[in-house]
Structure 1
Amino acid sequence: MGRSVIRSLSVAARESRNVVEVLSSRGLLGHTSNREKIVEAAKSPMKVYCGFDPTADSLHLGNYLGLVALKWFQVCGHEVFCLIGGSTARIGDPSGKSGERPIMSAQSIERNSIRIEQSIKRILGRSVKVVNNLDWVGNLSFLDFLDTIGRNSRVGSMLNRESVRSRLESPTGLSFAEFSYQLLQAYDYAHLHETYGVTLQIGGSDQLGNMQAGVDLAKKLKPEGETLHTLTFPLLTTADGKKYGKTERGAVWLEADRLSPYSFYQYLIQAQDADVTNLLRKLTMLPEESISKAQEELLEAPFSAQRLLAETLTRDLHGEDGLASSLRATDVLKPGSRLDRSQISAELLLSLTSDLPVVTVKRKVLLEISLKSVLLMLKLGKRSGLEQLLRDGHGYINNERLEAGDRRISEDDLLEGQVMLVGAGKKKKGLVRVKDEPGPQ
């Protein structure tokens, strides 16, 4: 989102609406510890935080809800903190999980933490304060843990939390480490309040129990301290209640090297009509007037709202260049595309290696085989079917149709000598990368 847009949103939000009202209107307000008190507190600048465990080297679309909520706090004049769980990631939050997370190495967590911090700062800007709970939990001895946190926590309350009860009743049970997760998250809130003056924690609705534990612990550690607040946002779901942000290949990642801008764009543009308005409202900061207009135009212009969603989010997360490459790739890969090799670059095709079947072939070998062999390598059809398809003139190299029959691959077929796009009919496409070997070919 451009700085001028954020600036205008900031002015409008501060002059006309409380951040709690803004979040409510965007579908980003779930349970609150006390809505009236938060509304009152938000009339002055607040310090608010949201936590992210570095269990992967990229955040995903579900995490993005928290970042959008923080962005609304920013434009309404509040100071935002992002907590990276360098210590809690070693335990794993049992909330919403049917079994214990795999143990991660300290090196992996550190690498993930660095990447996630970079992502957060790219999305929220330099004004966001990023902290890591490894800095205060990493040096906490077990005796200090028991004395500072354990002594001020009631087992009965911990057992009553849904994330704990559901796992205790499951076949896998709950380890002591996972049981302690809520205590460490509680200590995070108490520490941020004591160190930075944070008075509001936000998080997904599945974090409610852990967040309340933080309020309780902070109050016991400092009985005369300020009132602390919690606010949840609903998880990202479809109209029929299914979790949104998953594909057959896994999560919808925010980093381009985990999910290409093209795949990200394609995922969003395929949103159902019943979901798209909700997604526009929750995941973008477009004005309500633009969202209402997009909803009205759906009947007359199918997929117009989906295009608005896909283009807005792709631009927000991958910039103008990412959006441009996504649109270009969409044009190149759509069935029956008329874009020929003069309109396709090697750089564009190489950016799609995670989106299409890919085979890497030695240059010498490639120049001795035919298109049919390449299509077989890519598993775009069976031999007999491909032979008939080629006889009928439905083979493609760089979107250029072979009139009839098969032919050998030539050096001229390779874009910039590196890669080519092949097709078995208008829909099935794949990439061939060239591998050069040292010495004589």
Structure 2
Amino acid sequence: METKTERATASTGTRTNLYDEYAWRGMVYHATPELPEVLACEKVTAYIGFDPTARSLHVGSLLPIMALARLQRFGHTPIAVVGGGTGLIGDPSGKSQERPLLTRAQVAENLEGIRNQLAHFLDFDAVSNPARIVNNLDWLGALSLVDFLRDVGKYFTVNYMLAKESVKRRIASEDGISYTEFTYMLLQAYDYYVLHERYGCTLQMGGSDQWGNILAGTDLIRRVAGAKAHGLVFPLVTTAGGTKFGKTEAGTVWLDPELTSPYRFYQFWLNTDDQDVVTYLKYFTWLPPEEVDALATLVETAPERREAQRTLAREVTRTVHGETALARAERASAVLFGGELGDLSLDELRDIFEDVPSAELPRAAFEGEGLGVVDLFAESGLASSKGEARRLVRSGGAYVNNVRVPDEQHRVTLEAAVEGQALVLRKGRKHYQLVWLR
């Protein structure tokens, strides 16, 4: 059987330079000057930090996660730093106001969920460059204030810190910035220094709002260790419509299937705007340039097919949730277009028909010989009268669980209900009604 590493190596194709890979995928917003040459000639150890503000990462975290995974596939060594220490403080970067401080118990719970999710993307058993997950509370928790001020604080002037964009923006805001968050830059710089000393880490990556913090870390390594370190930041992911990426009317799109079901996750990507889909194919999938270019052509020549969106939804759902969840998500999506319900669960049915009108009918009516289909459509409200229901059945436009009703005498029993609790009625091609049996 093919190993993770073998599959990974195959997916990189002929591109042997990680920086070129990042650049082609549009992932380079800014980088230190020497980095392209370093990545072309050396194997490096690099890290990205993940803030444990929730028990799950969300789709906004996928770009840095994929960056670490791509780095490993090109032979470099990735470190995922889960901020158990800095998560107790809060990062002011990109924030208009200070976030509520989490308790140690909350951070510990969130850490466990994030560790499990990162393990899905990174290979911790690779022979030459195994990935590593570390918690910065391991060193920050043991650091005294006096030691921190003496060993780190003395290398940074207040002028230097005030010049950083994230700090300037917060100072100009109505709420200002607390001393707690003001020190975050130094804590992150110290993280980089510790990782450099312990693991030989010479590259930190992150979102473009992290540029100032990353440079603070390279400065600290230069001053204390006399060594060269590098930084690279990605563009902040946006949508063509100007909305925040990863946000929907229903809220945040999470990687945890208990918070965002695989069906909803699949639908999120399927609904990507034509203006965004090629960018997202580059960011979030392993597809090579020739396949992305072919899909980009279809976006221009046959946008109604939405082949790029379907490919994006399939690839990302498979990567995050696996083949089985992808198959169920695709089958659930097909239900809205007349596909069979098959073995879909009640929870999946709720997901699919969340925005569809519903009605309640007494469970007893379906016992024994069941309820006549004409009565069912009329009493559920999908047909305005028994007469309309009869005409609907005669014309072949009445469906129960996406199966055409054969005749007016057809009866529906409890056996037809999903988990004995729900029926899906359809009138014509698109008009659905969910019936709950109470």
TM class by shorter-chain length? Answer: 0.7 to 0.9
Q: 1: distance between equivalents of 2:436 and 2:253?
A: 26
2:31 maps to 32
2:281 maps to 280
Q: 2: distance between equivalents of 1:2 and 1:162?
A: 44
Q: 1:118: Cα distance to partner?
A: 0.8
The one-character-per-residue Cα deviations of 1:5-39 (angstroms, maximum 9, x if unpaired) are 422135633xxx311111101101111121x3442
Contact kept in structure 2, 1:346 and 1:418, CA below 8 Å: no
| Farther-moved stretch of structure 1 (238-247 vs 325-334) | 238-247
The one-character-per-residue Cα deviations of 1:290-331 (angstroms, maximum 9, x if unpaired) are 011111123236201111111111111111111100111001
Gaps of 5+ in 2: 125-129, 371-378, 393-397
Q: 1:280: Cα distance to partner?
A: 0.7
Task: Give me the TM-score of the superposition, normalised by structure 2.
Answer: 0.83
Q: 1: distance between equivalents of 2:21 and 2:236?
A: 17
Q: How many residues align?
A: 409
Residues 388, 211 of structure 1: alpha-carbon distance in 2 compared, 3 angstrom cutoff: same
Q: 1:204: Cα distance to partner?
A: 0.6
Contact kept in structure 2, 1:94 and 1:163, CA below 8 Å: yes
* Identical-pair percentage: 38
Q: 1: distance between equivalents of 2:209 and 2:169?
A: 12
Residues 86, 110 of structure 1: alpha-carbon distance in 2 compared, 3 angstrom cutoff: same
Backbone CA RMSD of aligned residues: 3.3
Contact kept in structure 2, 1:6 and 1:75, CA below 8 Å: yes
Q: Is the aligned partner of 1:74 residue 2:69?
A: no
Matching residue within 148, 173, 183 for 2:176:
173
Q: 1:432: Cα distance to partner?
A: 4.3
Q: 1:221: Cα distance to partner?
A: 2.2
1:306 maps to 309
Q: 2: distance between equivalents of 1:134 and 1:401?
A: 60
Q: 1: distance between equivalents of 2:348 and 2:55?
A: 19
1:290 maps to 291
Contact kept in structure 1, 2:58 and 2:253, CA below 8 Å: yes
Q: 2: distance between equivalents of 1:352 and 1:109?
A: 34
1:114 maps to 112
Contact kept in structure 1, 2:90 and 2:184, CA below 8 Å: yes
Q: 2: distance between equivalents of 1:74 and 1:121?
A: 13
Q: 1:103: Cα distance to partner?
A: 2.2
Contact kept in structure 2, 1:367 and 1:408, CA below 8 Å: no
Gaps of 5+ in 1: 372-382, 435-441
Partner AA of 1:351 in structure 2: E
Q: 1:208: Cα distance to partner?
A: 0.5
Q: 1:164: Cα distance to partner?
A: 0.8
Partner AA of 2:364 in structure 1: L
1:268 maps to 269
Contact kept in structure 2, 1:346 and 1:419, CA below 8 Å: no
Task: Give me the TM-score of the superposition, normalised by structure 1.
Answer: 0.83
1:378 maps to none
The one-character-per-residue Cα deviations of 1:82-118 (angstroms, maximum 9, x if unpaired) are 0000111122111111111122222221111111111
2:193 maps to 190
The one-character-per-residue Cα deviations of 1:97-156 (angstroms, maximum 9, x if unpaired) are 111112222222111111111111111222310001011111222222222222222111
Residues 390, 344 of structure 1: alpha-carbon distance in 2 compared, 3 angstrom cutoff: farther
Q: Is the aligned partner of 1:233 residue 2:234?
A: yes
Residues 386, 328 of structure 1: alpha-carbon distance in 2 compared, 3 angstrom cutoff: closer
1:439 maps to none
1:163 maps to 166
1:57 maps to 55
Contact kept in structure 2, 1:332 and 1:344, CA below 8 Å: no
Query: Secondary structure of the residue that 1:123 maps to in structure 2?
Result: coil
